[in-house]
């Protein structure tokens, strides 16, 4: 189950399919057709292939069919709680951008959930967000604009339940270009952890039985 949370509370809760329909990103522009050259024989193949070409085509098709066998199920599907990072850096909305930048650097992470005083997750702040209002050069910050985390964070933010399928989490990250998803308990609304791209890659490397595709 996925949720969308912002400064006005939870504005959506539902399965992946409803999330994608309700918050669909702009579709990619349709691909243009290749401009054909009347003299290009590769764009205008003969209606009947020569016998030698037909044999090669049949051999290639047979080899492909032999290799295109369904992979055996090597293990169970993993869930968010099994791959998430539990030690989560959390920042308040009123924190300054310099404080946020240094906190991310000290923890060696690229993003942090933003949690309001009442415990609700209201956004996600990343290094990319912070670089919109400051510059770093040789480890020193300069050209810092006076901004708070609340002014630069991504909000609303997509959150997931602890039992969310990691394959669906990966799809949401791809669809919305998100670096991570906070993991929030559905019953209590408390932050349980965070699943980042690094967590998913680490799982792929260290857990060979992980089945990535349904």
Give the CATH number, domain containing residue 149.
Answer: 3.10.580.10
pLDDT at 138: 73
Residue 114 lies in a domain: yes
Mean pLDDT on 119-125:
95
Answer whether 162's CB lies under 8 Å from 195's CB: no
Look at residue 121 and tell me whether its pLDDT is greater than 90: yes
Residue 54 lies in a domain: no
Residue 86 lies in a domain: yes
Answer whether 103's CB lies under 8 Å from 90's CB: no
pLDDT at 160: 96
pLDDT at 148: 96
Residue 109 lies in a domain: yes
Residue 18 lies in a domain: no
Q: What is the pLDDT of residues 25-78, one digit of tens each?
A: 333 333 333 344 444 443 344 445 455 555 655 665 565 555 555 544 445 558
Look at residue 172 and tell me whether its pLDDT is greater than 50: yes
pLDDT at 30: 36
Secondary structure in 3-state letters for the chain? CEEEEECCEEEEEECHHHHHHHCCCCCCCCCCCCCCCCCCCCCCCCCCCCHHHHHHHHHHHHHHHHHCCCCCCCCCCCEHHHHCECCCCCECCCCEHHHHHHHHHHHCCCEEEEECCCCCEEEEEEHHHHCCCCEEECCEEECCCCCEHHHHCECCEEEECCCCEHHHHHHHHHHHCCCEEEEECCCCCCEEEEEEHHHHHHHHHHCCCCCCCC
Domain count of the fold of the chain: 1
Residue 66 lies in a domain: no
Residue 212 lies in a domain: no
The partner residues of 96 in beta bridges, in order of sequence, read 148
Residue 161 lies in a domain: yes
Answer whether 173's CB lies under 8 Å from 197's CB: yes
Domain range holding 132? 2-6+75-206
Look at residue 86 and tell me whether its pLDDT is greater than 80: yes
């Amino acid at each position: 189950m996925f949720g969308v949370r912002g400064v006005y509370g939870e504005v959506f809760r539902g399965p992946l399919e409803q999330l994608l329909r309700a918050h669909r990103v702009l579709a990619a522009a349709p691909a243009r057709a290749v401009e054909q050259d009347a003299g290009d024989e590769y764009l205008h193949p003969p209606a009947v292939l020569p016998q030698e070409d037909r044999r090669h085509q049949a051999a290639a098709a047979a080899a492909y069919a032999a290799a295109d066998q369904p992979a055996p199920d090597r293990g169970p599907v993993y869930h968010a709680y099994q791959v998430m990072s539990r030690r989560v850096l959390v920042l308040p909305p009123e924190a300054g951008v310099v404080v946020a930048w240094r906190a991310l650097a000290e923890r060696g992470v690229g993003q942090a959930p933003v949690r309001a005083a009442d415990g609700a997750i209201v956004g996600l702040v990343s290094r990319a967000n912070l670089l919109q209002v400051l510059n770093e050069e040789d480890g020193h910050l300069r050209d810092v604009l006076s901004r708070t985390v609340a002014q630069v964070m991504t909000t609303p933010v997509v959150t997931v339940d602890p039992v969310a399928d990691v394959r669906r989490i990966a799809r949401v990250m791809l669809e919305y270009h998100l670096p991570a998803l906070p993991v929030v308990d559905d019953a209590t609304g408390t932050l349980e952890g965070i699943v980042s791209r690094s967590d998913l890659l680490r799982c792929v490397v260290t857990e060979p039985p992980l089945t990535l595709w349904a």
